Structures are given as structure tokens and as C-alpha cells.
Amino acid sequence: MAGDRGAVVWRKSSYSNTTDQNCCEVAVFPGAVRVRDSKRPDSTPVSFTADAWCAAIALFLAPDATGRGHV
């Protein structure tokens, strides 16, 4: 993953806390999604398959028992 650094486009959430920069960043690769701490960009990112990432986002956006989303 050290080769991932460089021309990789990392995207920060629009919900990022601009005061103290508490956020994660996401980069999309063919067949994989990598996530890192925006405060520690040189740390090793966590990697997910594209299918696992899509399933996690779908679950996160799905309504809970009260009918509201988790966002």
C-alpha cells in the first residue's frame, strides 16, 4: 500500500469537522476502497473490497427502527 501514496485522490467527507479536522478520507481503487485518518495521512489505510464498502454504505444509509437514516 505504500505505492498508493502519490497520485491517489483522497476525498474528505463533506461532514468533516473543520474546527479540529476529525475526519476520515476515502480513496477508490479498482476493486477496492481505502480509508485513512485525515490527521495521519501517512498511516496505513484500511482496505475494503468494493462490494463490502457498498454494503456498509447501504446499511449506514438505511432507515433504522424509527424510520430515520443513520446519517
pLDDT 10s digits, 26-62: 999 888 999 998 888 898 999 999 999 999 888 888 8
**71 vs 2, 3, 41, 45, CA distance in Å?**
32, 33, 25, 23
Q: Please give the pLDDT value at position 18.
A: 63
pLDDT at residue 17 in the model: 64
For residues 2-15, one letter each, b for 16 or more C-beta atoms within 10 angstroms of the residue's C-beta and e for the rest, the string is eebeeeeebeeeee
- Please, are residues 13 and 23 in contact by the beta-carbon 8 Å criterion? yes
Neighbour tally for 39: CB within 10 Å: 12
Residue 16 has a pLDDT of 65
pTM, rounded to two decimals: 0.68
Instruction: Delimit the domains of the chain by residue range.
Output: 2-61
Tell me 62's DSSP state: S
